[in-house]
Structure 1
Amino acid sequence: MEIDFAPSEQSTIGLEWEMALVDKHGGELVSLAPQVLERLAAEHPELFGDVPRIHQELLLNTLELVTGVHRTVAEATADLGESLAAVRSITDRIGVELFSAGSHPFSQPRLQPVTDKERYAKLIDRTQWWGRQMVIYGVHVHVGLDRRDKAMPVLDALVNYFPHFQALSASSPFWSGEDTGYASQRALMFQQLPTAGLPFQFPDWAGFEHYVDDMLETGVIDLINEIRWDIRPVPRLGTIEMRVCDGLSTLEEIGAIGALTQCLVEEASRSLDAGRPIPTMPPWNVQENKWRAARYGLDAIIILDAACNEKLVTEHLAETIERLAPIAEDLGCASQLYDLEGIMRRGAGYQRQRRVAEAHGGDLRAVVLEEARLMREGYAPADA
C-alpha cells in the first residue's frame, strides 16, 4: 500500500503533555477528566476548535495537552502554558492538583476507570491484564520533515539517542506503592502493548509501507496511529514523533527535551540534504540501551555505535549539547538545549522522587504532592 506523507515545514515542532488528576490533599488519582473537560469547553471554547488542544485519554484520570505547530520551542512551551493555565482555572476550584511523571507512585492500576470509547474497550479486551496496567504518562515531541524519504533515516538518528531521552526523563521508579529498582518502570510497562516499544528500522519508506500493510492485513491494527512505537513517523502530520519520554513535571524540562529532539532531527535532515548517511546500531545494541536507561537512568553506561564503544550517558550528553549548539542557535532554542544541563545537575525525576520518599519515611503521598507543587511553581532560581 502507498502511504501519503503530509506536507510539513522542516523542523517545526509540536508538543504533547500527558498529566494525571490527583486529590490535592492525599495525592490519590481522581477520575474527573470528563467533568474537567465539560467545564473547559464551556469556559474556554477557544481550546476546542478544529484541532482541540486538550484531549481525554485511556483513563478517566488523565488529560493530554497538545500544541499547535510552532517554529520554536519557546513558542510551543508557551502554548502548553496557556492550556495548563486554563485547566488550572477549573481544577483549582474542585480540589484537584495536576501531576505528571512516568507513573503514579501508589494508586492501584486495576482501580482506575477506563474512558468509555470503543477503541479503548477494544484495547483492554485484547490486552487484558497488561492493558489494565497502563497508568502511565508521557511527553511526546513532533518535529516536521520536509519530505517523506527523510522519515526512516531520521527515525534511525533518534533511535541512537533513545537512552539519552529515557535517562533524562525517567520518572517512574515506583509502581503500586513499591520501589521497582528501575528509573523508568513506564518504559518496560508500555512496551507490553501490541505494536508498542522500540520501532522496527527500515532502509526506506517502502519498507514501512510494507510493514503497515501486513499489520492491517492481519488485523493487528485498524489504523496507522495504532502503531505505538517509541519513535514513529506520523504520515497525516508530516512529522517524526519522539514518544520515549516519561511524564515531566515542568515546562522547563519539556522545553529541554523538545530542544534536544528538534536539534537532532535538524542535524539528521542536514546530513541527508548533504548526501551523508545516518549511522545505525544493531538492534540488539538498541534494545540493550533501552534496558540500561530504564534501569539506571542518568547512571547508565550506554552503547554508542556499531563498534560497541561505551560511555556514561551524561558524559555523552554533554558532548552532544556542545555539538548541537550551533544548530540550536539557528533554531532559536539554545537556552532550552542548555537546560538539559540543569536536569543532569539536579537529577532526573526518578532521583527526585526517591529523595522525597526517603525524607518522608517512605510516604509516597509526599512524592505526588511534591511533584504537583513543582509542576505548579517550577524550580527556584537557585535550582534552575
Structure 2
Amino acid sequence: MKIPFRSSERASLGVEWELQLVDRRTGELSPGAIEILAELTPEGAAEPAKAKHELLQSTVEVITGICTTVAEAQADLAGTVAEVAAAADRRGLDLMCAGTHPFTDWQTQLISPKERYLQLVEKMQWLARRLQIFGVHVHVGVRAPEKAMPIVNALTQYVPHFLALSASSPFWGGCDTGLASARSKVFEAMPTAGLPHQLAQWADFEAYMETLISTGSIESVREVWWDIRPHPDFGTVELRICDGLPTLDEIGVVAALSQCLVEQFDTQLDRGYTLPTPPSWVLRENKWRAARYGLDADIVVDEKGTVRPVRQALLDLAEELEPTARRLDCADQLADVERVLAAGSSCQRQRAVAAAHGGDLRPVVAALVAEFRDGLGGAA
C-alpha cells in the first residue's frame, strides 16, 4: 500500500490548540461550539478555516496556517482565539485550556454531530465517550518520506520532556488523580494511541497501515493517534504528546522545542548520521514517570538505568538547541523553558490554587481562565 507523503518546506510549523468552553457562572464545560463556529463561518464555507469542531460540543480547536517561525504561529493562534473568544463571550462562555477539566463529569457531555465522531463513538463506545481531554499538537515540516520514521523514532526519547513540561491534568471528575497528566493515561486506552511503533523506514509504515486497514482496525491513517506520528497529508512529523497548555507562552516553548529538534535531526540525516532509536522499555518507563510526577520526575537516560531530574534534562536540552533556535528565530521562545520551570507546570499551579481554597476546584477554573486571558504569570 503506497501512502503519498506530501513533503513540506523544511522546519515549517503548524500548531493545533484544543480549547475548553466553560460556563461563566458555574465553571462547567458547556456546549457552544456549533453556534460559535457557525457564527465565524464565511458564507458558502463548511466551517472557519482556522477553527474546527472536536469530539465534544464544549471544545473548539484553533489551528494555524503553515508558519515559518514560532512567533508567527503564536500570532496566528492569537488572532483566531480573539474571534472565538468574542463569539463565546456573547454566549456567556469563557475559554481556557488544560489537559482535563477539573470537575465536569464526562457523562454529561454532548458529542459533536459530525459523522466521523459519531462513528468513532459507535466503534469505541466507553473509550471514546469519556475522551473529555484536551491537547496541543505541533506539526513540523519534513522534506522527504524517508526521513519521517527515523525522526519519529528519535523524537520518542523526548516524550517525558514534553509531557512533564505540559502536564496540566491532575484532576478528573472533581478528584485529584495523584497524576500530573491524567489525560495521557485516559487517551492511552484507545487501541491506536500511545507511544509509536518503532518502524525503521517509510515502507514499514506503509505496510503497517495496510495491515490495520485491511483487517478493519482503522479506515484511514488519520485514526492512528500516536504520541508522535508522521502526517502524510501535511508532510510533517506531528508531536501529539502534550497536555493542553493554558497560555500562548507555553505554546511557544513546546513549539520551539519541536521545531528545533526536528530541524536538528533533519540536519544530522543530511550529514549521514544514523538517528537513535531508544529501547522501548525506557520509553514506557519515562512516559509513566512524566505522567505520574511531571516536572518532579527523574527519567532514565541510558540503557544502564542512569536517572536524572527531568528539570535538568530540559535545561540541558534548551542549551543544546540554542544555536538551532537562533537560526530558526525562536531563541526567545526556547528560553522561556526557564520561565515555565520557575512558575511550575500547569498541574502544579492548579494544585496550588486548589490547596489555597481548601480543595475547592472552582477557583482552579477561574485561574485557568485568567491565565488563558493574561498569559503565564498574568493571573498571579
Shift of 1:381: 7.1
Contact preservation (8 Å) 1:18, 1:138 = yes
Which residues in structure 2 correspond to 1:89-168 (within 5 Å)? Answer: 89-168=86-165
Contact preservation (8 Å) 1:101, 1:246 = yes
1:263, 1:305 → 2: CA distance? 22
TM-score normalised by the chain length of structure 1: 0.96
Deviation by residue 1:283-309 (Cα, 9 ceiling, x = unmatched): 111011111000000011111233433
Contact preservation (8 Å) 1:280, 1:306 = no
Q: Name 1:303's counterpart in structure 2.
A: 300
Q: Name 1:20's counterpart in structure 2.
A: 20
1:357, 1:7 → 2: CA distance? 46
What secondary structure is seen at the aligned counterpart in 1 of 2:267? Answer: helix
TM-score normalised by the chain length of structure 2: 0.97
Q: Name 1:30's counterpart in structure 2.
A: 30
Contact preservation (8 Å) 2:371, 2:377 = no
Aligned counterpart for 2:69 among listed residues 57, 69, 72: 72
2:91, 2:57 → 1: CA distance? 16
What secondary structure is seen at the aligned counterpart in 2 of 1:245? Answer: strand
Shift of 1:126: 2.0
Which residues in structure 2 correspond to 1:285-364 (within 5 Å)? Answer: 285-364=282-361
What secondary structure is seen at the aligned counterpart in 2 of 1:160? Answer: helix
Q: Name 2:215's counterpart in structure 1.
A: 218
Shift of 1:379: 3.2
Shift of 1:279: 1.4
1:80, 1:37 → 2: CA distance? 16
Q: Name 1:377's counterpart in structure 2.
A: 374
1:215, 1:168 → 2: CA distance? 33
What amino acid maps onto 2:362 in structure 1?
R
1:318, 1:382 → 2: CA distance? 25
Contact preservation (8 Å) 1:285, 1:303 = yes
Contact preservation (8 Å) 1:157, 1:264 = no
Q: Name 1:200's counterpart in structure 2.
A: 197
1:104, 1:51 → 2: CA distance? 25
What amino acid maps onto 2:245 in structure 1?
L
What amino acid maps onto 1:37 in structure 2?
L
Shift of 1:227: 0.7
Which residues in structure 2 correspond to 1:32-47 (within 5 Å)? Answer: 32-41=32-41
2:262, 2:143 → 1: CA distance? 11
Q: Name 1:10's counterpart in structure 2.
A: 10
Deviation by residue 1:217-271 (Cα, 9 ceiling, x = unmatched): 0111101111111110000110000000000011110011000000010111111
Shift of 1:60: 0.5
Contact preservation (8 Å) 1:19, 1:64 = yes
What amino acid maps onto 1:85 in structure 2?
A
What secondary structure is seen at the aligned counterpart in 2 of 1:94? Answer: coil
- Structure 1, unpaired ranges of 5+: none
Q: Percent identity?
A: 48
Select between 128-137 and 233-242 the one with higher mean Cα deviation: 128-137
What amino acid maps onto 1:67 in structure 2?
T
Contact preservation (8 Å) 1:141, 1:243 = yes
**What is the aligned-residue RMSD (CA, Å)?**
1.6
2:60, 2:235 → 1: CA distance? 24
Contact preservation (8 Å) 2:104, 2:173 = yes
- Structure 2, unpaired ranges of 5+: none
Residue 181 of structure 2 corresponds to residue 173 of structure 1: no
Shift of 1:124: 1.3
Shift of 1:356: 0.5
Aligned counterpart for 1:273 among listed residues 254, 257, 270: 270
Shift of 1:68: 0.5
1:26, 1:381 → 2: CA distance? 22
What amino acid maps onto 1:13 in structure 2?
L
1:382, 1:111 → 2: CA distance? 29
What amino acid maps onto 2:59 in structure 1?
T
Aligned residues: 380
What amino acid maps onto 2:274 in structure 1?
P
1:229, 1:168 → 2: CA distance? 19
1:177, 1:286 → 2: CA distance? 30
Shift of 1:318: 0.8
Residue 188 of structure 2 corresponds to residue 191 of structure 1: yes
